[in-house]
Amino acid sequence: MPDSRIELGSEAHEKVREAGEILAQVREETADRVEVGASHLDVAEYAEDRIRELGGEPAFPVNISIDEEAAHATPSADDEATFGEEMINLDIGVHCDGWLADTAITVDLSGHDDLAAAPEEALEAAIELVEPGVETGELGRIIEETIEGYGFNPVVNLSGHGLGHWDQHTEPSIPNRGVSQSTTLEVGDVVAIEPFATDGSGKVTEGNDEEIFALDREGSVRDRGARAALEQITEEFRTLPFAARWLDTDRPKMALRRLKTHGLVHGYPVLKEGDGTLVSQKEHTVIVTEEGCEVTTRG
Protein backbone atom coordinates (compact mmCIF):
# COMPACT_ATOMS: atom_id res chain seq x y z
CA MET A 1 0.00 0.00 0.00
CA PRO A 2 1.44 3.44 -0.90
CA ASP A 3 2.50 5.69 1.97
CA SER A 4 -0.38 8.09 1.35
CA ARG A 5 -3.14 5.45 1.38
CA ILE A 6 -5.17 4.59 4.47
CA GLU A 7 -7.96 2.14 5.18
CA LEU A 8 -11.30 3.93 5.42
CA GLY A 9 -12.85 3.60 8.85
CA SER A 10 -9.51 2.81 10.47
CA GLU A 11 -7.81 4.61 13.34
CA ALA A 12 -5.57 6.31 10.79
CA HIS A 13 -8.69 7.64 9.03
CA GLU A 14 -9.95 9.12 12.29
CA LYS A 15 -6.57 10.71 13.01
CA VAL A 16 -6.46 12.33 9.55
CA ARG A 17 -9.99 13.64 10.11
CA GLU A 18 -9.05 14.97 13.54
CA ALA A 19 -6.02 16.77 12.13
CA GLY A 20 -8.19 18.31 9.41
CA GLU A 21 -10.83 19.52 11.86
CA ILE A 22 -8.21 21.23 14.02
CA LEU A 23 -6.56 22.74 10.97
CA ALA A 24 -9.78 24.14 9.50
CA GLN A 25 -10.46 26.03 12.72
CA VAL A 26 -6.90 27.29 13.10
CA ARG A 27 -6.74 28.44 9.46
CA GLU A 28 -9.78 30.66 9.84
CA GLU A 29 -8.73 32.05 13.22
CA THR A 30 -5.23 32.79 11.91
CA ALA A 31 -6.44 34.42 8.71
CA ASP A 32 -8.57 36.78 10.82
CA ARG A 33 -5.40 38.00 12.53
CA VAL A 34 -3.68 39.03 9.29
CA GLU A 35 -4.04 42.79 8.93
CA VAL A 36 -1.83 45.74 8.13
CA GLY A 37 0.58 46.27 11.02
CA ALA A 38 0.22 42.81 12.55
CA SER A 39 3.42 40.91 13.34
CA HIS A 40 4.44 37.93 11.17
CA LEU A 41 5.93 36.20 14.22
CA ASP A 42 2.86 36.80 16.38
CA VAL A 43 0.59 35.33 13.70
CA ALA A 44 2.79 32.26 13.17
CA GLU A 45 3.14 31.59 16.89
CA TYR A 46 -0.59 32.10 17.44
CA ALA A 47 -1.37 29.39 14.88
CA GLU A 48 1.24 26.96 16.18
CA ASP A 49 0.17 27.45 19.81
CA ARG A 50 -3.52 27.15 18.90
CA ILE A 51 -2.88 23.84 17.14
CA ARG A 52 -1.39 22.47 20.34
CA GLU A 53 -4.25 23.84 22.45
CA LEU A 54 -6.73 21.96 20.27
CA GLY A 55 -4.91 18.66 20.66
CA GLY A 56 -2.70 18.49 17.58
CA GLU A 57 0.89 19.34 16.73
CA PRO A 58 2.21 21.55 13.92
CA ALA A 59 3.14 19.34 10.96
CA PHE A 60 5.55 22.04 9.79
CA PRO A 61 6.24 25.69 10.65
CA VAL A 62 3.50 28.09 9.57
CA ASN A 63 4.47 29.42 6.14
CA ILE A 64 3.83 33.16 5.69
CA SER A 65 4.63 34.02 2.08
CA ILE A 66 4.48 37.64 0.95
CA ASP A 67 3.84 38.86 -2.63
CA GLU A 68 6.35 37.00 -4.87
CA GLU A 69 7.12 34.37 -2.24
CA ALA A 70 5.41 31.02 -2.82
CA ALA A 71 6.61 28.68 -0.07
CA HIS A 72 9.03 27.93 2.79
CA ALA A 73 8.96 31.41 4.36
CA THR A 74 8.49 31.45 8.13
CA PRO A 75 9.51 34.08 10.69
CA SER A 76 12.81 33.86 12.56
CA ALA A 77 12.90 34.05 16.35
CA ASP A 78 13.79 37.75 16.23
CA ASP A 79 11.63 38.65 13.22
CA GLU A 80 10.16 42.16 13.47
CA ALA A 81 8.34 42.17 10.12
CA THR A 82 4.73 43.35 9.96
CA PHE A 83 2.09 43.00 7.27
CA GLY A 84 1.55 45.77 4.75
CA GLU A 85 -0.78 46.15 1.77
CA GLU A 86 0.44 42.85 0.37
CA MET A 87 -0.68 39.45 -0.89
CA ILE A 88 -0.20 37.01 1.99
CA ASN A 89 -0.34 33.22 1.77
CA LEU A 90 -0.76 31.18 4.94
CA ASP A 91 0.20 27.51 4.64
CA ILE A 92 -0.46 25.53 7.82
CA GLY A 93 -0.17 21.84 8.73
CA VAL A 94 -1.35 19.69 11.64
CA HIS A 95 -0.54 16.15 12.63
CA CYS A 96 -2.18 13.85 15.14
CA ASP A 97 0.20 11.03 16.02
CA GLY A 98 1.93 11.58 12.68
CA TRP A 99 -1.25 11.56 10.58
CA LEU A 100 -1.37 14.77 8.57
CA ALA A 101 -3.56 17.53 7.23
CA ASP A 102 -2.33 20.46 5.12
CA THR A 103 -4.16 23.62 4.09
CA ALA A 104 -3.45 27.08 2.70
CA ILE A 105 -5.31 30.33 2.10
CA THR A 106 -4.53 33.69 0.54
CA VAL A 107 -5.30 36.78 2.58
CA ASP A 108 -5.16 39.61 0.06
CA LEU A 109 -4.43 43.07 1.42
CA SER A 110 -3.08 44.24 -1.95
CA GLY A 111 -6.31 44.71 -3.88
CA HIS A 112 -5.78 41.89 -6.39
CA ASP A 113 -9.10 40.12 -5.91
CA ASP A 114 -9.01 38.12 -9.15
CA LEU A 115 -5.57 36.68 -8.47
CA ALA A 116 -6.67 35.64 -4.97
CA ALA A 117 -9.83 34.04 -6.37
CA ALA A 118 -8.14 32.04 -9.15
CA PRO A 119 -6.54 29.24 -7.07
CA GLU A 120 -9.64 28.99 -4.88
CA GLU A 121 -11.88 28.31 -7.89
CA ALA A 122 -9.25 25.98 -9.37
CA LEU A 123 -9.13 23.98 -6.15
CA GLU A 124 -12.90 23.59 -6.00
CA ALA A 125 -12.98 22.48 -9.66
CA ALA A 126 -10.31 19.86 -8.96
CA ILE A 127 -12.06 18.58 -5.84
CA GLU A 128 -15.24 18.05 -7.86
CA LEU A 129 -13.33 15.64 -10.11
CA VAL A 130 -11.77 13.56 -7.33
CA GLU A 131 -12.95 9.95 -7.23
CA PRO A 132 -11.37 6.52 -7.61
CA GLY A 133 -9.94 6.02 -11.10
CA VAL A 134 -9.30 9.69 -11.86
CA GLU A 135 -5.84 10.56 -13.16
CA THR A 136 -3.91 13.21 -11.25
CA GLY A 137 -3.06 14.77 -14.61
CA GLU A 138 -6.76 15.43 -15.11
CA LEU A 139 -6.80 17.40 -11.86
CA GLY A 140 -3.83 19.37 -13.16
CA ARG A 141 -5.66 20.08 -16.41
CA ILE A 142 -8.70 21.62 -14.70
CA ILE A 143 -6.45 23.61 -12.35
CA GLU A 144 -4.50 25.00 -15.30
CA GLU A 145 -7.62 25.82 -17.33
CA THR A 146 -9.32 27.55 -14.41
CA ILE A 147 -6.34 29.73 -13.51
CA GLU A 148 -5.68 30.63 -17.14
CA GLY A 149 -9.36 31.54 -17.43
CA TYR A 150 -8.64 34.35 -14.98
CA GLY A 151 -5.76 35.54 -17.14
CA PHE A 152 -3.02 34.20 -14.87
CA ASN A 153 -0.53 31.32 -14.91
CA PRO A 154 -0.36 28.31 -12.61
CA VAL A 155 2.96 27.83 -10.86
CA VAL A 156 3.99 24.70 -12.75
CA ASN A 157 7.03 23.65 -10.72
CA LEU A 158 5.05 23.41 -7.49
CA SER A 159 2.48 20.68 -6.98
CA GLY A 160 0.08 19.06 -4.59
CA HIS A 161 1.16 15.83 -2.95
CA GLY A 162 0.28 12.77 -0.96
CA LEU A 163 0.33 12.87 2.83
CA GLY A 164 1.83 9.85 4.55
CA HIS A 165 2.42 8.86 8.16
CA TRP A 166 5.12 11.26 9.41
CA ASP A 167 5.68 12.21 5.76
CA GLN A 168 4.50 15.60 4.53
CA HIS A 169 5.37 15.09 0.84
CA THR A 170 4.86 11.67 -0.69
CA GLU A 171 3.32 10.20 -3.83
CA PRO A 172 1.12 10.86 -5.66
CA SER A 173 2.08 14.27 -7.01
CA ILE A 174 -0.89 16.48 -7.98
CA PRO A 175 0.33 18.73 -10.82
CA ASN A 176 -0.91 22.26 -11.38
CA ARG A 177 -1.07 21.75 -15.14
CA GLY A 178 -2.25 19.02 -17.46
CA VAL A 179 0.31 16.23 -17.90
CA SER A 180 0.21 12.94 -19.78
CA GLN A 181 2.20 10.92 -17.24
CA SER A 182 0.27 10.79 -13.98
CA THR A 183 -1.14 8.56 -11.26
CA THR A 184 -4.58 6.99 -10.88
CA LEU A 185 -6.27 7.86 -7.59
CA GLU A 186 -7.57 4.98 -5.48
CA VAL A 187 -9.81 4.64 -2.43
CA GLY A 188 -7.98 5.70 0.72
CA ASP A 189 -5.48 8.03 -0.93
CA VAL A 190 -4.83 11.11 1.23
CA VAL A 191 -3.73 14.04 -0.91
CA ALA A 192 -3.22 17.77 -0.57
CA ILE A 193 -4.42 19.60 -3.68
CA GLU A 194 -2.55 22.89 -3.85
CA PRO A 195 -3.04 25.30 -6.78
CA PHE A 196 -0.78 28.35 -7.02
CA ALA A 197 -1.60 31.24 -9.37
CA THR A 198 0.67 34.08 -10.44
CA ASP A 199 0.78 37.14 -12.67
CA GLY A 200 4.37 36.12 -13.43
CA SER A 201 5.93 33.42 -15.59
CA GLY A 202 4.67 30.46 -13.57
CA LYS A 203 7.97 29.16 -12.24
CA VAL A 204 9.57 29.65 -8.83
CA THR A 205 13.25 29.64 -7.97
CA GLU A 206 15.13 29.26 -4.71
CA GLY A 207 16.08 32.32 -2.70
CA ASN A 208 18.87 32.55 -0.13
CA ASP A 209 16.86 32.58 3.11
CA GLU A 210 16.33 29.39 5.13
CA GLU A 211 14.34 29.17 8.34
CA ILE A 212 12.78 25.71 7.81
CA PHE A 213 14.75 22.46 8.07
CA ALA A 214 14.19 18.69 8.25
CA LEU A 215 16.11 15.64 9.36
CA ASP A 216 17.90 13.64 6.66
CA ARG A 217 19.36 10.91 8.84
CA GLU A 218 20.36 10.21 12.39
CA GLY A 219 24.01 10.42 13.35
CA SER A 220 26.42 11.89 15.86
CA VAL A 221 28.24 15.20 16.27
CA ARG A 222 30.81 16.36 18.81
CA ASP A 223 29.52 19.89 19.35
CA ARG A 224 27.30 20.03 22.43
CA GLY A 225 24.78 22.51 20.99
CA ALA A 226 24.45 20.60 17.72
CA ARG A 227 24.09 17.33 19.65
CA ALA A 228 21.30 18.79 21.80
CA ALA A 229 19.54 20.13 18.72
CA LEU A 230 19.78 16.76 16.94
CA GLU A 231 18.33 15.00 19.96
CA GLN A 232 15.36 17.40 20.03
CA ILE A 233 14.83 17.05 16.27
CA THR A 234 14.83 13.24 16.27
CA GLU A 235 12.59 12.95 19.32
CA GLU A 236 10.16 15.81 18.75
CA PHE A 237 9.94 16.46 15.01
CA ARG A 238 11.17 13.15 13.56
CA THR A 239 11.10 13.50 9.76
CA LEU A 240 8.71 16.47 9.66
CA PRO A 241 9.94 20.01 8.87
CA PHE A 242 10.73 22.31 11.79
CA ALA A 243 11.67 25.97 12.31
CA ALA A 244 15.03 27.15 13.57
CA ARG A 245 13.08 29.14 16.19
CA TRP A 246 11.64 25.90 17.59
CA LEU A 247 15.04 24.66 18.77
CA ASP A 248 15.79 25.02 22.48
CA THR A 249 19.56 25.40 22.07
CA ASP A 250 21.13 28.81 22.74
CA ARG A 251 22.58 29.15 19.24
CA PRO A 252 20.20 27.34 16.88
CA LYS A 253 21.65 28.74 13.65
CA MET A 254 25.15 27.59 14.60
CA ALA A 255 23.83 24.16 15.55
CA LEU A 256 21.97 23.85 12.25
CA ARG A 257 25.06 24.85 10.25
CA ARG A 258 27.01 22.06 11.93
CA LEU A 259 24.22 19.54 11.35
CA LYS A 260 24.02 20.53 7.68
CA THR A 261 27.80 20.16 7.34
CA HIS A 262 27.49 16.59 8.62
CA GLY A 263 24.65 15.84 6.21
CA LEU A 264 22.17 15.26 9.01
CA VAL A 265 19.62 17.96 8.15
CA HIS A 266 18.71 19.98 5.07
CA GLY A 267 17.14 23.39 4.69
CA TYR A 268 14.22 24.62 2.61
CA PRO A 269 15.14 27.85 0.80
CA VAL A 270 12.29 30.31 0.33
CA LEU A 271 10.76 29.83 -3.13
CA LYS A 272 10.00 32.98 -5.12
CA GLU A 273 8.46 34.05 -8.43
CA GLY A 274 10.14 36.73 -10.54
CA ASP A 275 10.57 40.31 -9.36
CA GLY A 276 7.41 42.39 -9.35
CA THR A 277 5.03 39.44 -9.52
CA LEU A 278 2.52 38.06 -7.05
CA VAL A 279 1.62 34.49 -6.03
CA SER A 280 -1.69 33.30 -4.56
CA GLN A 281 -2.50 29.87 -3.13
CA LYS A 282 -5.33 27.69 -1.88
CA GLU A 283 -5.07 24.16 -0.50
CA HIS A 284 -7.22 21.45 1.03
CA THR A 285 -6.55 17.90 2.20
CA VAL A 286 -8.86 15.25 0.74
CA ILE A 287 -9.37 11.52 1.26
CA VAL A 288 -10.51 9.54 -1.79
CA THR A 289 -13.66 7.56 -0.97
CA GLU A 290 -15.80 5.09 -2.93
CA GLU A 291 -18.23 7.86 -3.88
CA GLY A 292 -15.77 10.72 -4.44
CA CYS A 293 -13.81 12.36 -1.67
CA GLU A 294 -13.93 13.71 1.84
CA VAL A 295 -12.41 17.18 2.34
CA THR A 296 -10.95 17.07 5.84
CA THR A 297 -9.94 20.75 6.01
CA ARG A 298 -13.14 22.35 4.74
CA GLY A 299 -14.36 23.56 8.15
User: What DSSP designation does 282 have?
Assistant: -
161 annotated active-site: yes
120 annotated active-site: no
Burial code (b: 16+ CB inside 10 Å, e: under 16) for 119-135 equals: bbbbbbbbbebbebebb
Exactly one of 135, 283, 284, 294 is catalytic; which is it? 283
E strands, 109-253, in order: 153-154, 160-164, 167-174, 190-193, 196-198, 205-215, 242-243
Domains assigned to the chain: 11-204+273-295 (3.90.230.10), 212-270 (1.10.10.10)
What's residue 2's pLDDT? Answer: 61
Residue 78, annotated ligand binder? no
262 annotated active-site: no
Size of the chain, expressed as the number of residues it contains? 299
Instruction: Spell out the per-residue pLDDT of the chain, length 299, in tens.
Output: 568 899 999 999 999 999 999 999 999 999 999 999 999 999 999 999 999 999 999 999 999 999 999 999 999 999 999 999 999 999 999 999 999 999 999 999 999 999 999 999 999 999 999 999 999 999 999 999 999 999 999 999 999 999 999 999 999 999 999 998 899 999 999 999 999 999 999 999 999 899 999 999 999 999 999 999 999 999 999 999 999 999 999 899 999 999 999 999 999 999 999 878 999 999 999 999 999 999 999 97
Residue 112, annotated ligand binder? no
Exactly one of 95, 165, 169, 284 is catalytic; which is it? 169
85 contacts 109 by C-beta, under 8 angstroms: yes
3-state secondary structure of 121: helix
What's residue 275's pLDDT? Answer: 78
* DSSP H stretches of helix in the chain: 11-31, 40-53, 113-129, 136-149, 224-232, 252-261
Exactly one of 21, 68, 91, 273 is catalytic; which is it? 91
What's residue 139's pLDDT? Answer: 98
